Amino acid sequence: MLSARAGPERPATPARLAGARLTRTRLALLGAAALVVASVVRFQRPNYVLDPVYTDHLQHEYSAWAFLHIGLRIFDTPKSDWGNVHAAHVHLLWEQIPSIYPPGLIGFFMPFGIASNEQWLPDERVHMLMVIALGVGAALASVQLVRSLRLAYEPALAAILAVLGAVLFVTAGLNGFIDPIAAGLALAGIYWAERGAPGQGLVALVLGLSLQYRLWYLWPLALAIAFEHRREISRRQFAAAGVVGAASLVTFGLSVPFVSRFHDIPNISPNPLVLTHDVGAVQIAALVVGCLVVGIALRYDRPLTAACIALALLLVFAVDQWEVWYPVLFVPLLVVPRARPAQVAVTLVFLEAMIYLGGFPNALRFVHLYADAVR
């Protein structure tokens, strides 16, 4: 009796393994996106967020619409003084200050603002779609965080930080914050620049910086990529990054005078480490630790790494306000150091700051909020 002979097995080449990993990643992303959609549609109306205590996306929709009517005034005029911007749905938050965000955020929310105020869709449906977009963006950012950490850290530490970062990203995204998308773009930019695509990396990084000013501690890295790889980056990529960066600088100049007024706004969370008011033993100790981390980066890593860390510390010590979602935007700092001592120092300070200031990722709380939201 003849028996069929099995053909020779194909060797598991690096290309085949990479293709299999890519397929699994795509399937995971599709599954995550489907889960986000299925979950958000069950969230509580009218905001459709995981935790109904506070959210950001409604004010951004309104600011984007207002930009169409009063232009750059949204960046230097308090919301209470914007006047009639012909909005069908007014969503005000922190009326004492203008829109203190870069122009990329306005561009992101513009389609939602138009759809709501032109009444193409019910306002509640627009809220739902915004959270879906932000939740899917948070899932994408989580995947990019895993890829970036694998490139720089030991597998065990990379896995721990990836889980903590993913909880931060998904929680913030499903609560209506664009911070995970900004952080994800920054992570992608750093990753692509180190993997041989500096032009693509520069554009992604600058786009991330155009969504949140608190990411601006990464400007030294963006400038270094542009200078070191100036012969590899195309003119079109330089032009795109330059236009976005210049527009962000203009709006920053308009809105920065209002940053010092945070402590005058009711119902904000004060920053206990800020050095612009009373300075005590805790602030001094934290400053000494911060200087030590900068010194470790200078000794074992690059001056570029030390510059990014120093600017991140400036944000911590100079801004009056601290909210529990702020750590999301400091996650990209974890992948900037290349030397192990600097990575350990930055990781420890990052975790300690989250514990002391607030914002440490709480997976159990996330599960509780999620179960309540989809019930």
pLDDT in tens, 221-238: 999 999 999 999 999 999
pLDDT of residue 82: 93
**Contact status, residue 176 vs residue 55, Cβ threshold 8 Å:** yes
Give the pLDDT confidence score for residue 33 in this predicted structure.
87
Residue 347 pLDDT grade (very low, low, confident, very high; cuts 50, 70, 90): very high
362: confidence class by pLDDT, cuts 50, 70, 90: confident
202 is in which domain, residue-wise?
Answer: 57-374
The DSSP output letter for 119 is T
State the chain's mean pLDDT as an integer.
Answer: 89
CB atoms within 10 A of CB 284: 11
Task: Compute the average pLDDT of residues 101-117.
Answer: 96
Residue 205: which pLDDT band, with cuts at 50, 70 and 90? Answer: very high
Q: What stretches of the chain show up as alpha helix (H) in DSSP? A: 14-40, 57-70, 73-76, 103-117, 123-152, 155-174, 179-194, 198-209, 219-228, 235-255, 281-300, 303-318, 340-357, 363-374
% of the chain exceeding 70 in pLDDT: 92
Structural domain contains residue 244: yes
Over residues 136-151, the mean pLDDT reads 94
Q: What is the mean pLDDT of residues 286-312?
A: 96
Indicate if the pLDDT at residue 10 is higher than 70.
no
Average pLDDT of span 332-350 = 95
User: Is residue 24 domain-resident?
Assistant: no
Mean pLDDT in residue range 324-335: 94
Average pLDDT rounded to a whole number, residues 345-349: 95
Residue 48 placed within a domain: no
Rg of the chain (C-alpha set): 22
Question: Going by C-beta distance under 8 Å and a sequence separation of 6 or more, which residues neighbour residue 138?
Answer: 169, 170, 172, 173, 174, 180, 181, 184
Query: Residue 19: inside a domain, yes or no?
Result: no
| Amino acid sitting at position 311 | L
pLDDT(15) > 80: no
Nearest to 371 by CA among 48, 42, 139, 34: 42
Average pLDDT over residues 318-347: 93
Calculate mean pLDDT across residues 297-318: 95
149-204 pLDDT, tens digit each: 998 899 999 999 999 999 999 999 999 999 999 999 999 999 999 999 999 999 99
Per-residue model confidence (pLDDT) at position 7: 47
Q: Is residue 152 part of a domain?
A: yes
Burial class (CB in 10 A: 0-12, 13-18, 19+), 215: buried
Residue 186, Cβ neighbours under 10 Å: how many?
31
Determine the pLDDT at residue 17. 46
pTM for this predicted structure: 0.91
Q: What was the pLDDT predicted at 199?
A: 95
- Find the mean pLDDT for residues 238-254: 96
Mean pLDDT of 117-140: 95
Least confident span in 84-93, 169-178, 302-311: 84-93
Q: How confident is the model at residue 120 (pLDDT cuts 50, 70, 90)?
A: very high
Predicted confidence band at 21 (pLDDT cuts at 50, 70, 90)? low
Residue 18 is assigned to a structural domain of this protein: no
Q: Is the peptide bond before 46 cis (omega within 30 degrees of 0)?
A: yes
Q: Which residues have C-beta within 8 Å of that of residue 22, sequence separation ≥ 6?
A: none
Split into its structural domains, the chain has a count of 1
pLDDT digits (tens, 9 = 90+) for 257-293: 887 666 667 767 788 898 877 788 999 999 999 999 9
Can you give the pLDDT at residue 6? 45
Residue 120 domain flag: yes
Whether 45 is in a domain gets the answer: no
Three-point CA angle 111, 112, 115, nearest 5°: 85
